[in-house]
Structure 1
Amino acid sequence: MKKKFPNITSKIPPVVAIAAILIAWQLVSISGLLPSYMLPSPVAVCQALVNDRSTILFHAGFTLQESFYGLVIGVCLAFLFATMMDRFPILDQAFYPIMIITQTIPTIAIAPILVLWMGFGMAPKITLVVITTFFPITIGLLDGYKSVDMDAVHLLQAMGASRAQIFYHVKFPSALPHFFSGLKISASYAVVGAVVSEWLGGFNGLGVYMTRVKKAYAFDKMFAVIIFIVVISLLLLLAVNVIRRIVMPWLHTEKGEKKR
């Protein structure tokens, strides 16, 4: 019971903060400081979310597909690039500055070019998600590879271990915490990147739906989509945490021992 009590109390501040924001939002809405069509109340947003749930879920299917495909491709490319850059220092020196430069370009500026090159299908959306998710995972893996315990590497080398064995037993496990830190960022960026690309052209998706309801001044529906995107992002972060627990059970064992 004593162990559960800190976990319960730690959840009280965020719940209170969210409740305070919702109450303040409701008070501003009913006070008339802003017209209701500009700032719909939380009740109106929830009603729009329930009433338009079928349409929102239909468009969410396309956005989630783009996010998933882009995230998977981004993870694979990040693993390949980070591993090659760690293996060959000259590649690290050549490509690291280029990766930094690419992150200074706003995604809203890249999206129209991708649509112009690839059309209005899923290809430009997936490409933008790949560009958005690639960087945090690559940097996380590179930092993880560089933080490896060199004494362990030298020990395995003295025992005659190959490069592949050293990578599998030492380098990759040490990089996993950094990898999942980057994956958390990329998972939340994936949905946002897909929605941003859908704003600029397409036929289906949450970004297309938001553009349509904005033009119709149905801001309650627009806020409903925003809340839906937030929920999806939180669920993705939760999924990453679950996978992290499964892949790295020793971290939670160490935390439990420290608490004792």
Structure 2
Amino acid sequence: MSLLRPIGITLGLLLSWQLIVWLTDAPRFILPGPLLVFNTLIDQFPLLMKHAGVTLAEILLGMLLGAGLGLISALSLITWGRLRRWLLPVLVISQAIPVFALAPVLMLWLGYGMTSKVAMATLIIYFPVTAACFDGLRQTPTGYLQLARTLGAGRRTQLLQIRLPAALPAFGSGLRVAASVAPIGAVVGEWVGSSTGLGYLMLHANARMQVDLMFAALLVLAVMALALYFSVNLIARRLTPWLNESTSSVTRGDTP
């Protein structure tokens, strides 16, 4: 049953797409049909995989750096009050600047290679992860901390063994958001300036009126984004097994 639902949704979307093509009689250079896009996907598979590998590397590196820096920042904010008073307003104010507007500046500073795209993905990931993890650390149940102090636990022990495990669900939520927006950062960076990647391939195909190739690249990007999201979701659920157990109990109607 779990597999039938996504298969049914996919088939429904493909059928709706084909119906729109038939009803509007749109030319293939405006809206190609799913069969034409699928054939292009097969014919241009090596080219698509070459550019997809570059984009995937940019996304994964951006995820790793953004999540790592976000976790470190959240731990620093919860540990040092003076740093929190200075850094937290800066983080909030920084969100007033659209991250996409920084793409040309990053190209100027870091060049047209992979570094600028990784930096773009990192920036777009950093704040959601930091904010989610910081909220999780801050909302640790007070009773846990009081009990730890009673037992003589120091600040480091409280942070690593109580606050951090309690913040894992919020951190997982931040990672899910990051997995959703990381491809956006990488592709926008490729649109601004690049010679490789799916974003570059889509612009190149659009300029040559190869709309079927553009749709094929978009389809590959969508599959990558979905795979990344579900992978992150699986990791987050493995890190918080007690949440899965409680959810299962509620679903079954069990009472404590």
What is the TM-score with the length of structure 1 in the denominator? 0.90
1:62-92: per-residue Cα shift (whole Å, max 9, x none)?
Answer: 1111111111111111111111111123333
1:228 has 2:238 as partner: no
1:198-243: per-residue Cα shift (whole Å, max 9, x none)?
Answer: 1111221111111110111111111111111111111111111221
Partner of 1:219: 211
Partner of 1:29: 21
- CA distance in structure 1 between the aligned counterparts of 2:219 and 2:113, rounded to whole angstroms: 25
Partner of 2:147: 155
Q: CA deviation at 1:143?
A: 0.7
Q: For 2:33, which of 27, 41, 45 is the aligned residue?
A: 41
1:147-184: per-residue Cα shift (whole Å, max 9, x none)?
Answer: 10111101111111011111122100110000010101
Partner of 2:171: 179
Q: CA deviation at 1:194?
A: 0.8
- Correspondence 1:185-196 to 2 at 5 A: 185-196=177-188
1:240 has 2:232 as partner: yes
Q: For 2:58, which of 59, 66, 79 is the aligned residue?
A: 66
1:5-48: per-residue Cα shift (whole Å, max 9, x none)?
Answer: xxx38964x65554433222212212344322111111111111
- CA distance in structure 2 between the aligned counterparts of 1:110 and 1:142, rounded to whole angstroms: 25
Greater shift after overlay, 105-114 or 137-146? 105-114
- Root mean square deviation of aligned Cα: 1.9
Q: For 1:210, which of 195, 202, 212 is the aligned residue?
A: 202
The verdict on how the C-alpha distance between 1:178 and 1:11 changes in structure 2, with shifts beyond 3 A counting, is farther
- Gaps of at least 5 residues in structure 1 are 1-7
Partner of 2:104: 112
- CA distance in structure 2 between the aligned counterparts of 1:138 and 1:9, rounded to whole angstroms: 33
Q: For 1:145, which of 120, 128, 137 is the aligned residue?
A: 137
Partner of 1:4: none
Percent identity, aligned pairs only, is 33
- CA distance in structure 1 between the aligned counterparts of 2:24 and 2:235, rounded to whole angstroms: 46
